[in-house]
Amino acid sequence: MSEMKYLLFMGCTIPYRLSSYEVSARKVLNNLGVKLVEMPEFNCCGLPMDIVNHDLMLTLSARNICIAEREGLNILALCNGCFSTLNETNKILKEDRETREKVEKYLAENNMSYKGTIDVKHLVHVLAEDVGYEKIKGTVKKPLNQVSVAQHSGCHILRPSKYVGRDDPENPTMLKNLIKLTGAQCLNYAGETECCGNPIIGVNEEIPFQLAREKLNNVKAVGAQALITVCPFCHVMFDANQSRIERAFNEKYNMPVLHYTQLLGLAMGFTQEELGISELRVKPTIF
Amino acid sequence: MTESKTIKNDEMNPNFKYEMSKIPGAERIMLCYQCGTCTADCPISRFSDFYKPRRIARMVQFGLKDRLLSDDHLWLCSTCYACVDHCPQNVEPASIVRALRNMVVKERNKMPLVSRELATSLLKSGYIYAMPESRLKRRVEQGLPPLPKTNVKEIERIFKVTGFTSLLENAKTFEKVAK
Ligand code: SF4
Ligand code: SF4
């Protein structure tokens, strides 16, 4: 098997407010023999700009892809939003000649040109497809047999399926399988593929709070002891905002929300401290 | 929404649907047959009385450009892409909403305050947030590699060549959209 080496695309939100995701991801990937190369240069993937100017998003995104092409490495994104933006841009530029010509013109301002030589993957795809379930299983030293959790894959690693197309968007299984490898039980619940609502929180809090409340209710109803996420935006919605949601609806959840890499890290035998568990707002007491 | 429910003849711009169908992602607007799958599966529509993707598709077909561009509910789409995956006609309602939002910015000089803030930071530093010094120090303590730097000159050029620099300078902003 060829060496597993990727260009790490961390995005803006993880270094800004969720270093626990970065810290734990680096630990478990290293333990699995996945080599991460730092971006030699970076700009935001472009996602937040899509709603105001699609061409701006495409060009910002394409610039990052060009950097990865120069390095000769596939991109590994930890954030659903970064993955979706870079992957969509990559597919559009590969398939749509007219758009490609336009974006090439913009890139030329910076003496860059798109080649179409790399692939973009999310952490979940790298773990499920490239590392493989067998190898991950081999690194589990302390199976979490006593724990039951639920997963929230988030929208942007599933849809739109015409660009993502890796997992089943109606019944996603990758994250569930990855969770089961840790020894934990992964419980099914109502509305698993529903959106967390975070993308519109800047203009309206009410609807995202309603959506997150529904999710937390559904997850709690099946007896999950924690919710597992793989996206910084989903995580912020359920963890950092949980106490505000509790207050807004007069509910009590006390639902810990872990990055998948923290769950896997615990099963690998890393300490809570090594995985940034104390940085979570809702403290897990089950591990 | 305070506007009248009656649509007047002179509000309808018959060319608008053609204008829209030239925009990437919105090409198939004329194929919408109003089945309502998008609205039924839209998480936002469940909580908003006004944000309905089927309705937006119909308004585009009717050429109600003015009503569409002056309705802030456009900014409630959370880009979950359920509508894109489920539309039996491959209309891509979310892409149509994106095209309309882009049009609001370009033709009405208006964008959400949060978008202007994120864009301003991106233009200055490559990141959508201003990374505080304390966080960069903390990375060193945690043994994390330094954050990748940005070539600000190149970002400036991208903003300029896509026409966004002037849009950003002149945009009026709004803060909240009621559901
Ligand atoms: S699902 Fe497609 S065809 Fe049906 S109403 Fe929505 S946009 Fe129109
Ligand atoms: S992408 Fe937007 S319009 Fe489509 S279902 Fe999701 S929130 Fe609704």
Q: Per residue in A154-205, pLDDT tens?
A: 999 999 999 999 999 999 999 999 999 999 999 999 999 999 999 999 999 9
Name the pTM for this structure: 0.97
* DSSP class per residue in B37-54: HHHHH-TTTTT-SS--HH
Q: Hey, what long-range contacts does B28-36 have (CB within 8 A, 24 or more apart)? A: B28/B89, B28/B90, B28/B91, B28/B92, B29/B57, B29/B60, B29/B61, B29/B91, B29/B96, B30/B61, B31/B89, B31/B90, B31/B91, B32/B57, B32/B58, B32/B61, B32/B87, B32/B89, B32/B91, B33/B89, B34/B58, B35/B88, B35/B89
The continuous run of DSSP H or E covering B8 comes out as none
Q: Per residue in A101-155, pLDDT tens?
A: 999 999 999 999 999 999 999 999 999 999 999 999 999 999 999 999 999 999 9
Same domain? A43 vs A104:
yes
Which CATH number is associated with domain B9-108? 1.10.1060.10
Of B84, B127, B158, nearest to A106 by CB-CB distance is B158
Q: Is the CB of B90 under 6 A from ligand 1?
A: no
Q: Enter the tokens of residue B14.
A: 């018959």
Ligand with an atom nearest the CA of residue B86: 1
Of A282, A280, A286, give the one whose Cα is nearest residue A19: A280
- For residue A63, the chain B residues in CB contact (below 8 A) are 154, 158
For chain B, positions 27-66, list CB contacts with chain A under 8 A.
43-44, 47-48
3-state secondary structure of A278: helix
CATH of the domain at A64: 1.20.1050.140
Query: Which chain B residue shows the shortest CA-CA distance from A212?
Result: B43
Q: Is the CB of B36 under 6 A from ligand 1?
A: yes
Q: Per residue in B117-146, pLDDT tens?
A: 999 999 999 999 999 999 999 999 999 999
CA dist A18 and A182 (Å) reads 22
Q: Do B164 and A169 touch (CB under 8 A)?
A: no
CATH of the domain at A193: 3.40.50.11810
Q: Do A23 and B43 touch (CB under 8 A)?
A: no
In chain A, how many domains are there? 2
Chosen from B78, B83, B122 to mutate, greatest number of chain A CBs within 10 A:
B78
Which of A123, A158, A173 is the endpoint of a domain? Answer: A123
Residue A193 falls within a domain, yes or no? Answer: yes
- For residue B111, the chain A residues in CB contact (below 8 A) are 52
Same domain? A154 vs A115:
no
What is the SS3 string spanning A175-240? Answer: HHHHHHHCCCEECCCCCCCCCCCHHHCCCCCHHHHHHHHHHHHHHHHCCCCEEEECCHHHHHHHHH
Task: Provide, rounded to the nearest whole percent, the portion of chain B with pLDDT above 70.
Answer: 98
- ipTM of the modeled complex: 0.97
Four-residue CA torsion sign, A237, B147, A71, A93? positive
User: Do A6 and A34 meet the contact criterion of CB atoms below 8 Å apart?
Assistant: yes
How far out from the chain centre does Cα A180 lie? 18
Q: Is the CB of B87 under 6 A from ligand 1?
A: yes
Q: Per residue in B56-109, pLDDT tens?
A: 999 999 999 999 999 999 999 999 999 999 999 999 999 999 999 999 999 999
Q: Is the CB of B45 under 6 A from ligand 1?
A: no
Of A19, A41, A155, nearest to B151 by CB-CB distance is A41
Q: Is the CB of B80 under 6 A from ligand 2?
A: yes
Residue A92 falls within a domain, yes or no? Answer: yes
Chain B: give the shortest CA distance to residue A146, in Å. Answer: 31
Helix locations, A96-172, DSSP H: 97-108, 123-125, 133-138
Of B80, B85, B177, nearest to A203 by CB-CB distance is B177
Query: Which chain B residue shows the shortest CA-CA distance from A38?
Result: B148
Confidence tier at B5 by pLDDT (50, 70, 90): confident
Sheet holding A35-38, edge to edge: A35-38, A5-9, A74-77, A120-122
A38, amino acid identity: E
Q: Which domain holds residue A70?
A: 4-123
Which of A123, A154, A183 is the endpoint of a domain? Answer: A123
Q: Is the CB of B93 under 6 A from ligand 1?
A: yes
Same domain? A187 vs A250:
yes
Which of A123, A157, A172 is the endpoint of a domain? Answer: A123
Same domain? A180 vs A77:
no
The mean pLDDT value of chain A amounts to 97
Of B43, B128, B144, nearest to A48 by CB-CB distance is B128
* DSSP class per residue in B76-130: G-----HHHHH-TT---HHHHHHHHHHHHHHHH-EEEHHHHHHHHHHHHHSSSS-
Q: What pLDDT, on the 0 to 100 scale, is given for residue A3?
A: 83
Query: Which chain A residue shows the shortest CA-CA distance from B76?
Result: A200
Residue A62 falls within a domain, yes or no? Answer: yes
What are the structural domain ranges in chain B?
9-108, 112-174
- For residue B177, the chain A residues in CB contact (below 8 A) are 203-204
